[in-house]
Amino acid sequence: MDIHRWNGPPCPGISTGRAGELFLPSGLPSGTRETSMLDQPILSARERECLEGIARGKRVQAIASALLIAPVTVELHLKNVRAKLGASTTAEAVAIAIRKGAISPYG
């Protein structure tokens, strides 16, 4: 499982959602790289920030204060990350994301 990050502008046919998530058009020819990306999770910037905070040993409350969001919102982002990565625990999600290069535990 690879996690793809794209920081450039969207290409034609690709639309952006809230929080910088990318959505690819359906019906692409099989075998294209874009088709394989449809099956891959894309973490939003906020999801990455929350997961990186956990990876660096911060508590939910500290992450929430730093990002100026409610702790329950941090928990929601972490829940979404676990679902996208197929992880049972947040620790497992951190390990998967580090292994795939989606986040860095170092600042």
**What is d(CA 55, CA 42) in angstroms, rounded to the nearest whole number?**
18
The per-residue pLDDT for range 4-29, each reduced to its tens digit, is 444 444 444 444 445 444 444 444 44
Q: How confident is the model at residue 105 (pLDDT cuts 50, 70, 90)?
A: confident
Phi, psi of 75 (to 5 degrees): -60, -40
Q: State yes or no: pLDDT of 35 exceeds 60.
A: no
Token pair, residue 42, equals 């894309």
State the pLDDT at residue 19.
Answer: 47
> Domain spanning 45-99 has what CATH number?
1.10.10.10
**What is d(CA 84, CA 12) in angstroms, rounded to the nearest whole number?**
25
**What is d(CA 25, CA 105) in angstroms, rounded to the nearest whole number?**
33
Instruction: Report the sign of the C-alpha dihedral through residues 45, 43, 73, 54, in that order.
Output: negative
- Domain range summary for the chain, segments of one domain joined by +: 8-40, 45-99
